[in-house]
Chains A and B, each alone.
Chain A
Amino acid sequence: MSNIHVNTTVNGDEIGFLCDPRETLLDCLRDKLSLTGAKEGCGTGDCGACSVKLSGRLVCSCLVLGAEAEGQEIETIEGMSRDENLHPLQEKFIEYAALQCGICTPGILVATKALLEKNPDPTETEVRYWLAGNLCRCTGYDKIIRAILDTAADMREAS
């Protein structure tokens, strides 16, 4: 079958692209829209490196077809900072050195931002369960969790 034309919104911008029906949203973001922040770790929904928000829900973009993005709103890691200003989570990840190779980081940041929007005051257990589908081969998770809890505390104070 010929390619499908998809109209969608990515980080607030209306965008159109052509895709093969078998291509995933992750393929489309990376190869057609040059948004390479979302990573492919596994391609089967296990690692979370490809996490994005799709019309308000956190999803693995490797388990969504590009064609399914029609008419939806997508938020990726590229939309997280505002101009030159990093999101508080991004700043805190740097401060805590909550990353090493960085492959898991975009997915973890997108997933955590979604958590804090839903629950600004999560317990450590809640953070760990929320991130059960975000695998990190490098850090051992501890710095990630501490960076998140500290950001959440700062954001609560600021609001």
Chain B
Amino acid sequence: MQYYAPKSFSEAIEISMEAKGITRFLAGGTDVLVQLRADILTPEVLIDIKKIPEVGDILQNSDGSWRIGAAVPGAQLNEHKDLKAQWPGVVEAMDLIGSTQVQGRATLVGNLCNGSPAADSVPALIAAGASVTIISPNGSRDVSVEDIPHSPGKTTLEKGELISAVNLPKRNTNGGDAYLRLIPRTEMDIAVVGCGINLSVKEGLVSDARVSLGAVTAKVILVKEAADAIIGTSLDDKALTALSLAASAACKPINDKRGTIEYRTHVAGVLAKRAAQIAYKRARS
């Protein structure tokens, strides 16, 4: 294995374009190192992005939107009071990942690019309408987060492409978000189901919403039918039941020791209801 720590994105891309064999970027390393140690995957070329300027910064743009550098660890997100106040669902989702020690390293971008269908921060990012900035040999472009996951362990990024930052939209004053996951214990486990919801409320009615589910299909998905079920409602019991049915209907989960197909499908509906209620409350406060 060869290790590089380039000082710029262009240098990082050059190294990855010229690399032969399996190439990986290294952010917090909490997936890369585990896979390396367990002999699941040893890259021939490892490109550490943490020496590139600005990857460790959280910036609010003048229009109120946010730019979170690719190497910002969860602990740093959690310490950022303004970001946490505006996007509590995103910050809480990231905070659920691993222990204090894992939080010192793990990043949003690594969580997304590892490609796990159960990645905790991804449903929250998709619900938030977040995008990522992709840098490639041909320049840079912004792509919606929901277009990055492809299948378990795979993303839509091509060779020579890397993510420089996560972009969160401006938080409107009447909006709120939430993320909930179910695990069989209170800490340190993989989601059986994860659900992220972001919505806005006008005069008591949900004016727009985005609902995303994790761990119930081969990749994290945006569920439009679930959002449609609550838009225009005051989140009354009828709307919550419709939301829950739509969320369950979107599930094509696996059967494993953490949860059967029936269980995951049911829990997706329950979590969607609860997450929507939290987001609604936050939107109105």
B104 to A133, Cβ gap below 8 A? Answer: no
Q: Are B34 and A45 in contact (CB under 8 A)?
A: yes
Contact A130 B100, beta carbon cutoff 8 Å: yes
CB proximity of B2 to chain A, nearest CB, Å = 5
Docked Cα-Cα span, A68 to B4, in Å, equals 10
B143 interfacial by beta-carbon distance below 8 Å:
no
Task: Give B11-41 interface residues, CB cut-off 8 Å to A.
Answer: 26, 28-30, 33-34, 36-38
Distance, CA A48 to CA B102, complexed state (A): 9
The listed residue (B3, B30, B37, B104) touching A21 by CB distance below 8 A is: B3
- CB of B239 within 8 Å of the partner chain: no
Q: Is the CB of B50 within 8 A of A132?
A: no
Complex CA–CA separation, A45 to B101 (angstroms) = 8
Residue B85, interface by CB 8 Å: no
A111 part of interface (Cβ distance < 8 Å): yes
The 4 closest A-B pairs by CB, nearest first: A133-B99, A57-B104, A21-B3, A132-B187
Measured between beta carbons, the chain A residues less than 8 angstroms from B217 are none
Q: Which residues of A contact B (CB under 8 A)?
A: 1, 4, 21-22, 24, 43-46, 48, 51, 54, 57-60, 62-65, 67-68, 70, 111, 114-115, 129-134
**A57-B105, A132-B187, A133-B102 provided; 16 other pairs, C-beta below 8 A?**
A1-B1, A21-B2, A21-B3, A46-B188, A58-B104, A59-B101, A60-B102, A63-B33, A63-B102, A65-B46, A68-B26, A111-B101, A133-B98, A133-B100, A133-B188, A134-B99
B102 touches A64 (CB 8 A): no
A22 adjacent to B36 (CB under 8 Å): yes
CA distance A24 to B32 in the complex (A): 12
Q: Which residue of B lies closest to A107 (CB)?
A: B101
B5 within 8 A of A: yes
Q: Which residues of chain A are within 8 angstroms of B188 by Cβ–Cβ distance? A: 46, 132-133
Q: How far is the CA of A134 from the CA of B188 in the complex (A)?
A: 11
> Would you call B34 and A68 a contact (CB within 8 A)?
no
Give the chain B neighbours of A45 by CB distance below 8 A: 30, 33-34, 98-99, 101-102
Task: Confirm or deny: B120 has a beta carbon within 8 angstroms of a beta carbon on chain A.
Answer: no
In the assembled complex, the Cα of A134 lies from the Cα of B42 at a distance in Å of: 27
B33 and A62 contacting across the interface, CB-CB below 8 Å? yes
A-B contact pairs, 22 of them (CB 8 A): A4-B3, A21-B2, A21-B3, A43-B37, A44-B38, A45-B34, A45-B98, A45-B102, A48-B99, A54-B104, A58-B101, A59-B101, A63-B30, A64-B33, A64-B105, A65-B46, A67-B5, A67-B48, A68-B26, A68-B48, A129-B187, A133-B102
A64–B29 touching, CB < 8 Å: yes
Contact B104 A24 (CB under 8 A): no
Instruction: Please determine whether B105 and A63 come into contact, CB atoms closer than 8 angstroms.
Output: yes
Which of B5, B105, B188 has the largest count of A CB atoms less than 10 A from its CB? B105
Asked whether A21 and B1 contact (CB < 8 A) given A45-B34, A62-B33, the answer is: yes
Determine if A132 and B3 form an interchain contact, defined as CB atoms under 8 angstroms apart. no
Known: A21-B46, A22-B42, A24-B33. A133 touches B3 (CB 8 A): no
Kindly state whether residue B75 has any CB partner on chain A within 8 Å.
yes
Q: Are A44 and B104 in contact (CB under 8 A)?
A: no
A60–B188 Cα gap in the complex (Å)? Answer: 14
Q: B46's closest neighbor in chain A, by CB? A: A21
- Tell me if B73 counts as interface (CB < 8 A to partner A): yes
A21 and B47 CA atoms in complex are apart in Å by 11
Report the Cα distance A46→B99, complex, angstroms.
8
A64 to B98, CA, bound (A): 15
Q: Are B33 and A48 in contact (CB under 8 A)?
A: no
Identify the closest chain B residue to A71 (Cβ): B51
Asked if A62 contacts B99 (CB within 8 A), the reply is no
| Contact residue among A24, A64, A67 (Cβ-Cβ distance under 8 Å from B3) | A67
Which residues of B, 73-125, contact A by the 8 Å Cβ criterion?
73, 75, 98-102, 104-105
